[in-house]
């Protein structure tokens, strides 16, 4: 591996910035791209994928550029609470409860249904398939390339050497499904009037199609809360988020050393520290010098770079020996993700079910980054508070993810693969039954806005 230097970082940022500029121009000028409503960050990512290491190899990205999304997603979630207005605890509880429950159902059922489909359908047809073949769906679609690598390594230790390549293929296909399928669902949802913050694609104003804001509709990005004689206002806000991310990284490493069996997500720690920082600054009456709009713009900047880097760094792997069973597994995964989107989301979420469900679609088929990218199409200002709810809810979901990734390969190695779908799908069913018994199921089905 090449030595990574500050200039390698600068080159990566320079290339992706150039692609973001190209994506902005293409979105503004090319009509068929406007009709897809692809954000400039997605266009930049696809250009990076086509002309980068996985494509023709023209763009000289460093070997480290695939690691940037992990840092950027921490910036996004760390910036969310800072400068935010006060909210009622009861309101937060209900929102986070719904997102936590939805995330648990999504996680358990995506892993469990994939394994069950393979055991019941694929293994009898393709007799050479390992019994754990269905794990490839959850590893790639739900987990992304990182989880695919973890599962692949575990299954390789259990004697299935090809699992790593299949997992990477699943993650790559999943991202494409997230983007293309997500755009289709968004278009259909706007036509059916399910979206809260955007109307029909045909009625959208020109600035939403081209991405260029006319002078009459432009608004300020934020306010100067301190004098530039002391410190530049933007530097103050950047310093806050950079400091919190550094502390989050340090704290995450300490927790990993203390509890090596548990992997705590960096972005969840960053969000919790952001909440703590906001609470302390409010007690000290210093929060009035932090502009929430500026923090939103910092988070939005990180999101655009995250999406561009995330797509451009896809490692395309084609495993021809498994092509047909993979296609069937992916087709089932798409169908299952749609069932979760269309029938579980509207019944779980009390408000903004479409916005939160489209985020779930992007997450359950691709990555959290893809979910955020799709969310920004239907909720450009993130008024549904979906990232905030997810960050808090995922604190409880993370241990479940860790248990699955840790023990699924072990059960496969012991020949107990059938236990995986039984336990996971039973767990998802229990959550649904609790919601129905408590009378929470279906409360938000016929409303798009919060009460």
Query: Which pLDDT score, from 0 to 100, does residue 204 have?
Result: 58
Query: Which pLDDT score, from 0 to 100, does residue 349 have?
Result: 87
Closest residue by Cα to residue 386 from 403, 420, 408, 361:
361
Q: Any idea of the CA torsion for 120, 360, 179, 135, to the nearest 10 degrees?
A: -30
Query: Which pLDDT score, from 0 to 100, does residue 446 have?
Result: 47
Query: Which pLDDT score, from 0 to 100, does residue 439 have?
Result: 81
Q: Are 221 and 294 in contact (CB under 8 A)?
A: yes
Count CB-CB contacts under 10 A for residue 173: 22
- Dig out the tokens for 1 from the structure: 């591996």
Q: How far is 186 from 354, CA to CA, in rounded Å?
A: 9
Query: Which pLDDT score, from 0 to 100, does residue 173 have?
Result: 83
Residue count (the chain):
451
Q: Which residue's structure tokens are 């649904």?
A: 432
Query: Which pLDDT score, from 0 to 100, does residue 86 have?
Result: 64
**CB neighbours of 197 closer than 8 A, spacing ≥ 6?**
355, 378, 379, 380, 381, 383, 384
Longest dimension (CA), the chain: 73
Average pLDDT for consecutive 10-residue bins of the chain (451 residues)? 77 94 92 77 87 86 81 82 66 74 93 95 90 90 73 79 80 82 87 74 64 78 85 92 93 83 70 88 88 86 82 64 89 95 88 90 83 80 82 78 82 89 94 86 56 32
Query: Which pLDDT score, from 0 to 100, does residue 137 have?
Result: 93
Give the residue ranges of DSSP H helices in 80-160: 89-117, 123-125, 135-137, 144-157
Closest residue by Cα to residue 23 from 36, 11, 8:
36
């Amino acid at each position: 591996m090449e030595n990574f230097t500050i200039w390698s970082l600068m080159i990566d940022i320079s290339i992706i910035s150039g692609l973001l500029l190209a994506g902005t121009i293409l979105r503004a000028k090319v009509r068929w791209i406007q009709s897809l409503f692809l954000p400039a960050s997605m266009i930049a990512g696809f250009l990076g994928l086509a002309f980068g290491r996985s494509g023709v190899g023209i763009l000289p990205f460093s070997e480290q550029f695939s690691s940037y999304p992990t840092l950027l997603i921490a910036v996004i979630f760390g910036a969310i609470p800072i400068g935010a207005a006060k909210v009622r605890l009861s309101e937060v509880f209900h929102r986070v409860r719904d997102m936590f429950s939805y995330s648990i159902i999504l996680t358990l059922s995506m892993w469990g249904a994939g394994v069950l489909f393979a055991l019941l359908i694929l293994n009898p047809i393709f007799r050479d398939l390992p019994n754990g073949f269905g794990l490839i769906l959850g590893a790639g679609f739900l987990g992304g390339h990182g989880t695919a690598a973890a599962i692949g390594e575990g299954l390789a230790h259990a004697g299935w050497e090809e699992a790593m390549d299949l997992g990477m293929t699943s993650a790559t296909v999943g991202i494409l499904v997230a983007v293309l399928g997500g755009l289709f669902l968004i278009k259909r949802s706007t036509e059916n009037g399910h979206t809260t913050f955007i109307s029909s694609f045909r009625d959208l104003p020109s600035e939403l199609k081209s991405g260029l804001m006319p002078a009459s509709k432009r608004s300020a990005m934020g306010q100067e809360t301190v004098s530039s004689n002391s410190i530049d206002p933007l530097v103050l806000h950047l310093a806050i988020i950079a400091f919190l991310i550094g502390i989050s990284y340090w704290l995450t490493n300490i927790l990993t050393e203390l509890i090596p069996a548990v992997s705590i997500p960096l972005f969840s720690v960053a969000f919790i520290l952001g909440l703590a920082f906001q609470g302390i600054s409010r007690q000290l009456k210093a929060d009035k010098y932090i502009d929430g709009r500026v923090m939103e713009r910092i988070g939005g900047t990180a999101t655009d770079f995250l999406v561009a880097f995330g797509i451009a760094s896809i490692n395309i792997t084609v495993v021809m020996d498994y092509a047909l069973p993979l296609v069937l597994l992916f087709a089932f995964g798409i169908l299952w993700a749609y069932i979760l989107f269309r029938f579980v989301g509207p019944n779980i979420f009390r408000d903004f079910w479409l916005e939160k469900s489209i985020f779930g679609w992007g997450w359950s088929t691709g990555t959290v980054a893809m979910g955020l990218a799709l969310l920004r199409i239907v909720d450009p200002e993130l008024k549904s508070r979906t990232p905030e709810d997810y960050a808090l809810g995922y604190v409880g979901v993370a241990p479940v993810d860790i248990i699955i990734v840790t023990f699924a390969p072990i059960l496969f190695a012991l020949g107990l693969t059938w236990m995986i779908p039984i336990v996971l799908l039973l767990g998802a069913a229990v959550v649904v039954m609790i919601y129905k018994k408590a009378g929470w199921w279906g409360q938000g089905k016929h409303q798009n806005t919060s009460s």
